[in-house]
Amino acid sequence: MAETLSMQAAINTALDEILTADDRALVFGEDVGTLGGVFRVTDGLAAKHGSDRVFDTPLAESAIIGMSIGLAIHGFRPIPEIQFDGFAYPAMNQLITQLARMTYRSRGALPMPVTLRLPSFGGIRAPEHHGESLEAIFAHVPGLKVAVPSNPSDAYSLLKQCVADPDPVIFMEPKSRYWHKAEFGQPAEAAARIEAELPIGVSRVVRPGRHVTLVAWGAMVARCIQVAELAAEDGVDVEVLDLRWLKPLDVAGISASVGHTRRAVVVHEAPLSAGLGAEISALITENCFDSLRAPVQRVAGFDVAYPAGPLEDHYIPSVDRILAAVQRTLEYRRG
């Protein structure tokens, strides 16, 4: 029987099961042990699995990733957490020059099964560096995979896929969605079904439509569903595509959706310039050029530092901004 579960609880459940099933799995980071994490995602895990499996680290993000690399070399499956996405900047050297390249550098002799849990994006009106949108940086780095859940079921199944993968994965958890609940099946059954149907690198159509495709990930998926529901009141049938994986991108899934609707709007929280929306727009143009009826639209953050506090409301793509982009693409006429 299905139950209602938050994303925070779904991730906690997945971590609990991973630690139970695999003695090589370790969970560590700033305040993840005794406190259970700032967002209580790791709540109760240290008490159940012991302080040698779930433990706190010093406030040193570069050291957290460096330790993860060493543990992976010695056969462990580290699941580190960096407390907020903006705190990842001090760890970029280790992430890019070491973690992402170690398998390549060793000609495959040293796999790096490290899953970095990274509370990401905005929407909680936090101070500076507590809300960022770094997916384009990570996706650009060869050797790293990037996964972004938008709902509890995906958070559970994607995390399990990431930890089982031999490559390093950045698991970006949308902070603003931690406490949003959704129907969630029996965990083991849900994981088996999703892993069978949606392997690594596969997107999901969360709302079918005919007139335009909204491509999004993380918290923006829920916002795009809102847009689709409002557009339906005016007779516009919007399809919403949840990418789930930003590296590798599901080129076939994106092309199939946009090839069907023949129009596309890409929505993300990161700044517009050189954001991942540009890469997706290029892929759509390359693969769907003959069927497109309008240029691909992008709705994104502005080319400024991710703002703190209530200024987020003006920065994060709003329902009105996304609806305006949908209207523009529907009204486009070739000259």
Say whether pLDDT at 335 is over 80. no
Say whether pLDDT at 192 is over 60. no
Rounded CA separation 329/263 (Å):
7
What are the angstrom distances between the C-alpha of 214 and each of 23, 25, 199?
A: 41, 37, 22
Run of H or E residues at 174:
strand 169-174
Per-residue pLDDT reduced to its tens digit, 6-58: 999 999 999 999 999 999 999 999 999 999 999 999 999 999 999 999 999 99
Q: In order of start, what are the domains of the chain with their CATH numbers? A: 3-197 (3.40.50.970), 204-331 (3.40.50.920)
Say whether pLDDT at 274 is over 60. yes
Residue 182 near residue 152, CB atoms below 8 Å: yes
Verify whether residue 314 is a known catalytic residue.
no
Alpha carbon 214 to chain centroid, angstroms: 16
* Secondary structure (DSSP) of 269-303: EEESTT-HHHHHHHHHHHHHTTT-SSPPEEEEE-S
Q: Dihedral (C-alpha) 315, 319, 321, 322: value to the nearest 10 degrees?
A: 120
Per-residue pLDDT reduced to its tens digit, 228-253: 999 999 999 999 999 999 999 999 99
Q: What is the mean pLDDT of the chain?
A: 93
Across the range 205-226, mean pLDDT stands at 97
Rounded CA separation 84/40 (Å):
13
Per-residue pLDDT reduced to its tens digit, 94-149: 999 999 999 999 999 999 999 999 999 998 898 888 899 999 999 999 999 999 99
Say whether pLDDT at 189 is over 80. no
H-only helix segments in the chain = 7-21, 45-49, 61-73, 92-93, 102-105, 135-139, 152-164, 187-197, 219-232, 251-261, 276-288, 312-315, 319-331
Where residue 300 falls among pLDDT bands split at 50, 70, 90? very high
Task: Return the pLDDT at 127.
Answer: 84
Rounded CA Rg of the chain: 20
What are the angstrom distances between the C-alpha of 273 and each of 14, 93, 136, 285?
A: 35, 23, 11, 18
Instruction: Out of 130, 180, 260, 314, pick the active-site residue.
Output: 130
Non-local CB neighbours of 33 within 8 Å, separated by 6+ positions: 42, 46, 51, 54, 55, 56
